[in-house]
Amino acid sequence: MSGKILNHAYEAIGQTPVVRLSRLTAGLDGEIYAKLEYLNPGFSKKDRAARAIIEEAEAGGLLSPGQTVVELTSGNMGTGLAIVCAAKGYPFVAVMSKGNSIERARMMKALGAEVILVDQAPGALEGQVSGEDLRLVELVTERIALERNAFRADQFNRMGSVHAHQYGTAQEAWEQTDGQIDAFVDFVGSGGTFGGCARAFKALKPDIRCYVVEPFTAPFLAGREVTNANHRIQGGGYSMPLSLLDDSSPIEDFVQISDERAIQAARDLASKEGIFAGFSSGANAAAALQLLKGNERGSRILITINDSGLKYLSTDLFASEV
């Protein structure tokens, strides 16, 4: 990151450090490198995609000065968009399921966003956002975009979600590790991080292996039966097709991680490595550890730490009593 004074907070997005998870991997043959994306201004990797989508829309003439921006979000993309839109003068409307942690909604509102919370599907549980919940959020988002003539950030389809990681995250990680990466592991939400990083890494090192992580009960992308779409790993595993994952983002294999293992890994990241992160970061760490004990024994695996544990204090991810 430049040592110069920046004009806007969003200019601080990127150039996050990489840390070796030395305590979690003690006694194992191999290493895990964690790129600390929770150190972005909005405390998540989605800051990158938010900036890329807005700036590509500006460059392409798709976004007019002062035009409203709207997007569905589990909270992280909305936070990133709130930061970018506030600095650039675009009103922003975030549409989020009530199943996501309330800290995210409060943070987006504090950053100037209008936040609209959508009821979950019948039978859904709070804290367990399914693809059906997301579809309900999508309907509200589409309606608002039409009513307000708003620009739809559309993180599940716009290539800015991919480019942010293809030309940012992956390139930074490659330089920071001197290219010493054998595998990349990613719990998939919109598919932008995996799609972008896999493209970049394959171009840099054709034999690198890129793994998609999914919830144990919702291995939809792996083509297996979804036994429970209402898993607890917030921010992904939506059991729906993803347009940002295609032939240009080659998948070595799929790794399924249970809620319990993702939660324990997130807790271990905090207590053993000093990395205070959320559910999906725990899923990444758990998957990387599983691979080090199996097919990737002896490898150097890169993961991203997707967001901050501060966004989950109303959940049972961490101890509720002190």
**Active centre residues (catalytic):** 46, 280
| Dihedral of the alpha carbons of 38, 212, 298, 25, in degrees to the nearest 10 | 40
Token readout for 178 is 């001197």
Selection from 256, 163, 171, 155 nearest residue 212 by Cα: 256
How, if at all, do strands 31-36 and 18-20 pair?
Answer: antiparallel
Token readout for 73 is 């979000």
Going 79 to 168 to 307 to 229, the CA torsion angle's sign is positive
Contacts of 1 (CB under 8 A, 6+ apart): 12, 14, 15
| Residues 210 and 173 sit within 8 Å (Cβ to Cβ) | no
- Cα separation of 315 and 99, whole Å? 11
Q: Which residues of 202-230 are buried (b: 16+ CB within 10 A; e: fewer)?
A: beeeeebbbbbbbbbbbbbbeeeebeebb
- Cα separation of 273 and 267, whole Å? 10
